[in-house]
């Protein structure tokens, strides 16, 4: 029987776009541990969370039983401008590698923000607007989240204040201008505009900042300004929920051609694109309906899963945010200036942390020079200039495909291409000039920040 030819791009129709998000937690027997109030050591109640976060988002955050949560029409209408996103068969990369493996990637870079982050930004902006707020505050690392949120806020006419990790603010001035064009105000973090920023600057003069610092500043600003709430682009359960559109679409596309993946790979900073991509597949795995190898890829410079500890920790450097039980390097860990800014977070989604802890997924860490080698190979064969973050997933997809070349196995590999790298050209320049280095924390570095974990377990 002739095999159906799989097209280069599997596109879905507009009406095949998911009508509900899938809440993976509903199918988990061991639920992720709740966020805890650092003062009392008790799980945070809705009442404690609503001064910080939008109310409906708090409901989504705390809901670990409802499997399908309808996507409001206003959000679906926005999604229609850039979704469904294509699932691409990487025929050209396969040929270049000479592998019998079949490689697919779900491409989330087809919008101005250049990444998957818009999927959650638009949802969060919608709920903020619905609640009648004036605006939102947030942090951004590499700048993709800030850009996505600026786009979403301008669509719903909300004010948007972005604290941008200083190293990115300096390396990526054009990102900043995109955000300002959409009407956001952008402040390099740590800054003198907040109490926590001043404190961090006093303790670490000259620091290039981290996501953890920027989160502290954004939360402080939200709680001190009437009509503002804080929104976060990753890590939280609500963000993984919104990102499930990635996996739901990928699954629909694969099912259309009766394709069963063996391995699913994604890069993992706070875990949202990976959590979104794997959601329906992990659901099947948890329900015992199918099995997949699921691999999280993280930078060797910030190895939360592979070298971190599963414990309650602060989500921010300033230690003002709730505690989350997650794989963490310690909230005082400040990673070296890796070019994958979006992966420089000390912790990890509580949902993915629990799944990893329970053995439902694997994790590997990779060094940035080998990541850029993979990025270059991908760009030269598939044409898309990948984000450094996404290139972590490319690295491991290529590694797995090369293993298939050795063994002759025709495995099907799906990976998440979470975004494009047009704003990462300083990093590409370093790589092209042969000036990229790999900075890996020592065991002592990690032990020092782990020793400062809060004592709640």
Ligand X SMILES: *Cc1c(COP(=O)(O)O)cnc(C)c1O
The string of DSSP codes covering 258-284 is T---SEEEEE-SSSHHHHHHHHHHHHH
Compute the least distance from the CB of residue 64 to ligand X, in Å. Answer: 19
Note whether 191 binds ligand X by CB under 6 A: no
Compute the least distance from the CB of residue 389 to ligand X, in Å. Answer: 3
Which residue number, 99 or 327, has a Cβ lying nearer to ligand X? 327
CB-closest chain residue to ligand X: 419
Compute the least distance from the CB of residue 203 to ligand X, in Å. Answer: 27
Residue window 417-456: x/- pattern of binding to ligand X, with contact defined by CB under 6 A: -xx-------------------------------------
Residue window 77-96: x/- pattern of binding to ligand X, with contact defined by CB under 6 A: --------------------
Q: Structure tokens of 52?
A: 């910080």
Question: Are 326 and 333 in contact, with CB atoms under 8 Å apart?
Answer: no
Is 293 strand, coil or helix? Answer: strand
b/e sequence 376-407, b meaning 16+ C-beta within 10 Å: bbbbebbebbbbbbbbbbbbbbbbbbeebeee
Which residue number, 99 or 120, has a Cβ lying nearer to ligand X? 120
Question: Are 389 and 418 in contact, with CB atoms under 8 Å apart?
Answer: yes
Note whether 115 binds ligand X by CB under 6 A: yes
162, 219, 387, 427: residue in contact with ligand X (rule CB under 6 A): 387
Residue window 123-142: x/- pattern of binding to ligand X, with contact defined by CB under 6 A: -------------------x
90, 164, 267, 436: residue in contact with ligand X (rule CB under 6 A): 267
User: What's phi and psi for 425, nearest 5 deg?
Assistant: -75, -20
The string of DSSP codes covering 396-437 is HHHHHHHHHHHHT---EEEEEE-BB-TT-HHHHHHHHTT---
Strand partners, 12: none
List Cα–Cα distances, 227 to 51, 122, 127, 129, 223, in angstroms.
10, 18, 13, 11, 9
Residue window 224-263: x/- pattern of binding to ligand X, with contact defined by CB under 6 A: ----------x-----------------------------
Q: Interface with ligand X by CB under 6 A: which range of 86-94, 213-221, 305-313, 387-395?
A: 387-395
Note whether 303 binds ligand X by CB under 6 A: no
Compute the least distance from the CB of residue 45 to ligand X, in Å. Answer: 26
C-alpha 315/C-alpha 331 separation (Å) is: 7
**Site residues (CB under 6 A) for ligand X?**
115, 117, 142, 144-145, 234, 267-274, 342-343, 387, 389-390, 418-419
């Amino acid at each position: 029987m002739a095999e159906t030819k799989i097209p280069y791009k599997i596109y879905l129709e507009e009406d095949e776009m998911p009508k509900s998000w899938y809440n993976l937690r509903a199918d988990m027997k061991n639920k992720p541990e709740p966020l805890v109030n650092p003062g009392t050591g008790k799980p945070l109640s809705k009442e404690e969370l609503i001064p910080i976060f939008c109310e409906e988002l708090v409901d989504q955050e705390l809901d670990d039983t409802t499997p399908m949560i309808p996507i409001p029409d206003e959000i679906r209408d926005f999604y229609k401008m850039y979704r469904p996103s294509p699932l691409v068969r990487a025929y050209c990369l396969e040929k270049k590698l000479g592998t019998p493996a079949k490689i697919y990637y779900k491409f989330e870079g087809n919008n101005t923000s250049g990444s998957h982050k818009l999927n959650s930004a638009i949802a969060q902006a919608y709920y903020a607007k619905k609640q009648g707020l004036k605006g939102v505050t947030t942090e951004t690392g590499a700048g993709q989240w800030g850009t996505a949120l600026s786009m979403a806020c301008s669509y719903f006419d909300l004010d948007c204040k972005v604290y941008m990790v200083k190293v990115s603010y300096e390396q990526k001035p054009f990102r900043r201008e995109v955000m300002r064009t959409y009407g956001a105000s952008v402040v390099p973090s740590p800054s003198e505009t907040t109490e926590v920023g001043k404190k961090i600057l006093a303790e670490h003069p000259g620091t290039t900042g981290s996501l953890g610092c920027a989160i502290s500043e954004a939360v402080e600003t939200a709680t001190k300004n009437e009509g503002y709430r804080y929104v976060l682009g990753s890590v939280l359960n609500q963000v993984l929920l919104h990102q499930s559109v990635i996996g739901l679409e990928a699954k629909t596309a694969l099912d259309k051609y009766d394709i069963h993946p063996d391995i699913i790979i994604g890069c993992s900073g706070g875990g949202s694109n990976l959590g979104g991509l794997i959601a329906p597949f992990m659901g099947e795995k948890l329900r015992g309906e199918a099995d997949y190898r699921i691999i999280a890829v993280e930078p060797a410079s910030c190895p939360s899963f592979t070298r971190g500890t599963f414990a309650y920790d602060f989500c921010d450097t300033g230690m003002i945010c709730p505690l989350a039980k997650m794989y963490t390097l310690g909230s005082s860990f400040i990673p070296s200036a890796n070019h994958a800014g979006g992966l420089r977070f000390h912790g990890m989604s509580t949902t993915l942390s629990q799944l990893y802890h329970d053995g439902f997924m694997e994790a590997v860490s990779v060094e940035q020079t080998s990541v850029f080698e993979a990025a270059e190979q991908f760009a030269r064969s598939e044409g898309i200039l990948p984000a450094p973050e996404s290139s972590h997933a490319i690295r491991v997809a290529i590694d797995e495909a090369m293993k298939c070349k050795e063994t002759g196995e025709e495995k099907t590999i799906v990976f998440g291409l979470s975004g494009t790298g047009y704003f990462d050209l300083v990093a590409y320049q370093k790589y092209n000039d042969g000036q990229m280095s790999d900075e890996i924390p020592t065991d002592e570095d990690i032990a020092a920040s782990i020793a400062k974990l809060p004592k709640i377990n």
